[in-house]
Structure 1
Amino acid sequence: MVEFRLGALRRWLDANVDGGAGELSVTPIAGGRSNPTYEVTDGRSFWVLRRPPFGHVLPSAHDMGREFRVQAALRDSGVPVPRLVGLCLDESIVGAPFYVMDRLDGITLRGRDDAARLTPVQRARLADRMVDTLVRLHEVDPGAIGLAGWGRPDGYLERQLRRWSDQWTASRTRPRPQVDTLLRRLTQTLPRDRHPGIVHGDFKLDNMLLDRADPARVLGVLDWEMSTLGDTLSDLGILCSFWDEAGELPNPISAGATALDGFPGRWYVVERYGAARGIDITDLDWYLVFADFKIAVILEGIHARHLQGHTSGARFEGLDAVVDALLDRALARAADSSVAGLRS
């Protein structure tokens, strides 16, 4: 585990929280594979600290300042986010820039076993509230909350495809022929950007913090490390990539969490989203295929850092096979698409 300079961290908290902080203890929060996250407490108050991953980090990735800024801007927007304590760019305290937020006392559904603890009625209500939360985010006017110029919506999808292609090249641990095929098909069918707004970048079930008493209520949306301004339909693609259905190959990360009774089908999610925004969503194939590819690239980067010895633990084992499974599923989705250019 990273060596925290607890005295320096306490002095930083003293300057940023009302009443100061007592003697601190720090505990890693399980579940995350990307940005290391920790619970910090003095026995009276509880906070969450996030920092970039260890080892080689690709350019523009894991920017703590961006992650902090978007949550601070959204605080009074109706999108549920934790209260931010502060951003620290002094790398001497934890070895990297970091930020701290209040800990919300809620639960996270990491996979199928966690989701199985909800009743079918709770699962159905949670699905509706997740979609409504995503709609609320996408309907926020960035300029009205100080995020004008924070990103460039025009050309977003083209830049995304180029970025994740470059990151694959920088992170790959071995050649995979699926990648060349997917990139060729995605490039030749690139849609024009539609419906610009704030993009979360990783909107899915296990990035929701839920009320313990009412697990259908979203207390906070977490993990904003990939957020920017862009085509908001890309978030819907990510959500649908992780939205498993009974009888089909699940996303290897979510592993069937939303295939349980009560969760509606993927196209219910799409239709509810489209109706709430008053937009026509006739074809999400490109966004779904791209979402699987993007997730595979992210996991390849984590796998590469694991091979370099920068991470340890069971949750980092077997990622090589998960990357292959996602790339294969992306190719299968492309082959079944109504878009001719995705099929060949």
Structure 2
Amino acid sequence: MENTQTGAAPTRTQSPPGLDLDRITDWLAGERPGLVAGELSARLIEGGKSNLTYDLSDGENQWIVRRAPLGEVMATAHDMRREYRMAGALRTTDVPVPAMIAYCDDKDVLGTDFYLMERIEGVPYRYADELRPLGAARTRAISVELVRTLAKLHRVEPREVGLNDFGRPEGFLGRQVKRWKTQLDASYTRDLPGADELYTALVAAVPTTSAAGIVHGDFRLDNVLVGADDMPAAVIDWELATLGDPLLDLALMLTYQRRAKLVSERDSTEPAKYDATLAPGYLTEQQIIEHYEAESGRELEGFGFHLGLACFKLAAISEGVRYRHINRQTVGAGFEDSGSTVPLLLELGLDSLKEHK
């Protein structure tokens, strides 16, 4: 889940890990003749913990390249074609997304699928220290627009944008429980007290019916590029997008917020965990729920299950990043504390299941 398209133009001409400049130059010459005006340079964009994101430039123009991480991954994860298709379909809606330029499924080029997209100017706010200089009023406005953007996404009818076959909403929540259990098992490096208990509780509590719509899969402030006008310029990182219960997006966004708050309260020495939600002026959890209900027209019946599942999902994702780091399959810095909050998330998940009965 990479998080930025901002920063200075690339200045290095050597190939960064995972992106062979000679091969992508040859591919683009055949795929998009005339697109590249000069010698390509690239830099890995730091901050993400899953798919790899690069800033690519020919000296005059800049683009973004996205590819799957290095090493073995789940067969259903890191699907570049799904990302490319979802963002492309949403260009016709009021959900802001970058323009998709080219997709490659020839693994001889980079060793995996990848795609090229428009580079959008915007800031992916991750930390409270980045928002504090803006002041409480601007921070509040940014968080309000974040919720409004999520509601816009959830109002999109998949059939109207050609995405009616993008997923199977029926049984979505039950499949999610099984999927993230499989991910957790595949990432095993240590015993995790509470994991089996939470999984068993989720299996027993899967709703018989649920809402249906587009699910981003990892919606949060730093997966939205905020423009100079404090409005969302683009929603990015669609690698987990599907059709299913949209309330899982809201639950995951709130889970990130709860995690940041708990880490701050329990251990001030713990490394920051994307704590932008703790900045003065940022909407409280209850305010977010109220804004979302008003904007989306959805009811949050049984929302405790969604919160518990969101905790389980985030724990599985975090443990997967930890596993890849231990096995030297990650690129870039910032992975040293990966998985440090997994036990907290499992505990939080069990508590969350009891809410919104």
Same fold (TM over 0.5): yes
Alignment map for 1:126-141 (pairs within 5 Å) = 126-141=142-157
**Alignment-derived partner of residue 334 in structure 2:** 315
**Conserved? CA contact 1:115–1:258, under 8 Å:** no
Pairwise CA distance, 1:315 = 1.1
Q: CA deviation at 1:272?
A: 1.1
Q: Specify the SS of the correspondent of 1:300.
A: helix
Change (3 A) 1:160 1:247: closer
Could you say what secondary structure the match of 2:109 adopts?
A: coil
Number of equivalences = 336
Contact 2:215 2:243 in 1 (8 A): yes
Q: Is the 8 A contact 1:48 1:102 kept in 2?
A: yes
- In structure 1, the partner of 2:304 is 285
**AA in 2 matched with 1:87:** Y
Q: Aligned match of 2:347 in 328, 331, 338?
A: 328
User: Which residue is 1:342 aligned to?
Assistant: none
1:247–1:35 Cα change, 3 Å: closer
- Which position in structure 1 is the counterpart of 2:355? 337
Following superposition, the deviation at residue 316 of structure 1 comes to 0.5
Instruction: Give yes or no for the alignment of 1:46 onto 2:62.
Output: yes
Q: 2:50 aligns with which of 34, 38, 48?
A: 34
The C-alpha deviation readout for 1:81-129, integer Å capped at 9, x for no partner, is: 0011110011122221100101111111122222223221111111111
Instruction: Give SS of 1:177's match.
Output: coil
Structure 2 runs not aligned, ≥5 long:
1-15, 266-270
2:88 aligned to 61, 67, 72, which one?
A: 72
Question: Contact 2:74–2:183 (CA<8 Å) still a contact in 1?
Answer: yes
Amino acid at match of 2:160: A
Q: Does 1:10 align with 2:25?
A: yes
Q: Is the 8 A contact 2:27 2:109 kept in 1?
A: no
1:157 counterpart residue number:
173
Which of 241, 247, 250 pairs up with 1:233?
247
Aligned CA distance change for structure 1 residues 239 and 320 (closer, same or farther; 3 Å): closer
1:306 correspondence with 2:320: no
Which amino acid counterpart does residue 241 of structure 2 have in structure 1? S
TM-score by structure 1 length?
Answer: 0.91
Query: What's 1:102 paired with?
Result: 118
Q: CA deviation at 1:174?
A: 1.3
Q: Equivalent pairs: percent with the same residue?
A: 38
TM-score (norm 2): 0.88
Contact kept? 1:193, 1:231, Cα under 8 Å: no
State the Cα distance separating 1:266 from its structure 2 match. 0.6
Q: What residue identity is the alignment partner of 2:65?
A: L
Q: Deviations over 1:176-220 (max 9, x none)?
A: 121011011111111234220010000001101111x22x21000
Please name the residue that 1:220 is paired with.
234
The answer to whether residue 217 in structure 2 is matched with residue 201 in structure 1 is: yes
8 A contact 2:303–2:356 mirrored in 1 = no
Change (3 A) 1:17 1:105: farther
C-alpha separation between the residues in 1 aligned to 2:259 and 2:244? Answer: 28
Distance 1:253 1:234 in 2: 24
Q: Distance in 2 between matches of 1:314 and 1:8?
A: 25
Q: Decide whether aligned partners of structure 1 residues 40 and 266 sit closer, same or farther in structure 2, where only a CA change above 3 A counts.
A: same
